[in-house]
Structure 1
Amino acid sequence: MAEAVRFDNRVAIITGAGGGLGKDYALEMARRGAKVLVNDLGGSGGGVGASTLPAEEVVRQIRDEGGEAVANFDSVSTRAGGAAIVQAALDAFGKVDICIANAGILRNNRFEDIADDELDAVLDVHLKGAFYVAQPAYREMRKNGYGRFIFTGSASAMYGHAWQANYAAAKGGLMGLSHIVAIEGSAYGIKSNLLMPTAISRLGDEMTEGFREIPEFAKSLDNADWSASGGRQTVNFNTPLVLYLASEQCDLTHAIFSANSGRYAQVHICAADGWVTPAGTTPATPEDVAAHIAQIADLSIYHKPQTVYEEFSAVADAARRQGVI
């Protein structure tokens, strides 16, 4: 039987922890020994308003169960707010071991109609907000030679969802951020992974079905097989994977994971072996590309570079396989 996942003597910062996914992470992590900084501005799913009540209620529940937690109400969307969140954890508990960037809002619209307030607000909370909290947290983790980051991505960025160009752009940015934190953090005992959660939450209240105007996208929704998902899209189905990724037991880093309806899976970004142009310094023509497009897209052989430089090695492998070098 696997060793129990515990967080004794570990300090976790969880943003957006006043409800939904973040609340469940905070409660379960505290039950397993973590000291938790519960951050939540207390606004709506669309990023409007503020209240101290959501974070205070989660802290009260943790303390009633015998755990340790403090509430924080700073906005993640400014550098000063991010610094204040990390400082609050340091003031309360003296260190930071785990940072879960979970805060998020949703403002859906057609790509062609997204206005600055819909773009900026979503980027500020999801992408800049994660950056602003993670950066000072990373500095503390580096001092201590240990850290765990979980950035909250989305299938909307990885696979696509109509009427969510702003949200998907922010979540795609978080994928890149997690990769770099993982690479740089590897020298200091810091691991970073991206989670794509699936849950029915208050952000769903911000959704409309205007996206059904896109016929092929509407068809993908209508034809989806939900037979394995009944009662399994609740927030607590995401928590086991999050807690493992945040634990000392987790040796994985620089990875992407999906939690969907009780299925946990690693998601890979890969490149096809492709077509390598003949030896020499003459580039291909567009007509050459057209003639070889099937080979370019063929995934029967593929590579998974972990840095930009590993792709050069993948190119060399493909060139050897195809007799170019």
Structure 2
Amino acid sequence: MTIRFDGRVAIVTGAGNGLGRIHALELAKRGAKVVINDFGGSRDGRGGSSDAALAVVEEIRKIGGEAIANGANVADFEQVTAMAEEAKAKFGRIDILINNAGILRDKSFSKMDMADFRAVVDVHLMGSAYCTKAVWDIMREQNYGRVLMTTSAAGLFGNFGQANYGAAKMAVVGLMNMLAIEGKKNDIRVNTLAPMAATRMTEDILPEAILKATGPEQVTPGALFLVSENAPNKVVLGASGGAFSAVRIVETAPVVIQAGAVSAEAVEAHFGQIEDWSTSAYRDDANQQVHAFVTAMQRAAA
């Protein structure tokens, strides 16, 4: 069945360039009305211009779609609240939010200014939280919503020189975990895309051959699926060059050290067993981890 977004209204942040632009164009091609949000800053978040967002709006209008531009800074809650209000007033509803806006200020942690750490966290983490908060009650009232976070391998697995970016990108996965649970009763599904694509964010990071093979067009289909009517919930989807993967945090089975014998030395002695990934399992929520620990302790005490 063809995935369509007729009658749906989407906000895409950072939609003036790169992945956000392609997300917005493809949503529009499939029937969505789209708010093109872009602060218009440079890759490190400085400056600001509406030109990029307006250009994408014009692209959408040329293909017969409907879109408006918005220059809100996602790190400013008042601005994104006004953006949501404008979208609701213009289109009557908000069905989809793609939190795509981002900046980079890469340096090794020893050389990183804490102002640069904060700036990156403000855009990626707080921007995602602010934008989601701005649309959350609208989605609850509709009993329908699709929210997409954007993470990165830097956050999921680590990458030298990106402590600020990696911390923020891992944090949005935690935000997804919470919101996917809270939104479930109102059919608000929250997922996360982990893209690797050739954009201005990666143009001087990835090798030329990889850049040529990993255009945003080969990542956006994953995003469209994650904000569609039949989207899953609480999924992290890796995407690059037409290849897709699923990412999960898992936990090994708890290893009980008997009462009276618990010590740092005992943990060291048992660490091979503790780190036995063949026993690993996924937890749907925090309660399942509590259950696993309590069950292991009860068995050991029996």
CA distance in 2, matches of 1:273, 1:259: 30
How far 1:291 moved relative to its partner?
Answer: 1.1
SS state at 2:278 partner: coil
SS state at 2:185 partner: coil
Conserved 8 A contact 2:150-2:195: yes
Identity %: 38
Do structure 1's residue 303 and structure 2's residue 281 form an aligned pair? yes
Alignment-mate amino acid for residue 29 of structure 1 = L
**Counterparts in 2 of 1:256-267, with a 5 A limit?**
256-267=236-247
CA distance in 2, matches of 1:175, 1:63: 34
SS state at 1:71 partner: strand
In the superposition, the TM-score normalised over structure 2's length comes to 0.95
CA distance in 1, matches of 2:19, 2:295: 43
Alignment-mate amino acid for residue 33 of structure 1 = G
Q: Is the alpha carbon distance of 1:143 and 1:7 closer, same or farther for their aligned partners in structure 2, counting shifts above 3 Å? A: same
Deviates more, 1:307-316 or 1:176-185: 307-316
Alignment-mate amino acid for residue 224 of structure 2 = L
How far 1:283 moved relative to its partner?
Answer: 5.9
**Counterparts in 2 of 1:24-103, with a 5 A limit?**
24-103=22-101
CA distance in 1, matches of 2:296, 2:278: 12
Unmatched runs of 5 consecutive residues or more in structure 1: 210-220
Q: Counterpart of 2:213? A: 232
Do structure 1's residue 286 and structure 2's residue 284 form an aligned pair? no
Q: Counterpart of 1:215? A: none
Q: Counterpart of 1:107? A: 105
Q: Counterpart of 1:212? A: none
Q: Counterpart of 2:228? A: 247
Q: Counterpart of 2:185? A: 187
CA distance in 2, matches of 1:104, 1:89: 21
| CA deviation map 1:8-28 (0-9, x unaligned) | 100100000001000000000
Conserved 8 A contact 1:274-1:297: no
Alpha-carbon RMSD across the aligned residues, in angstroms, is: 2.0
SS state at 1:99 partner: strand
Conserved 8 A contact 2:105-2:120: yes
Do structure 1's residue 313 and structure 2's residue 291 form an aligned pair? yes
SS state at 1:300 partner: helix
**Counterparts in 2 of 1:156-195, with a 5 A limit?**
156-195=154-193
| CA deviation map 1:196-235 (0-9, x unaligned) | 110121113575x9xxxxxxxxxxx9xxxx99x5743111
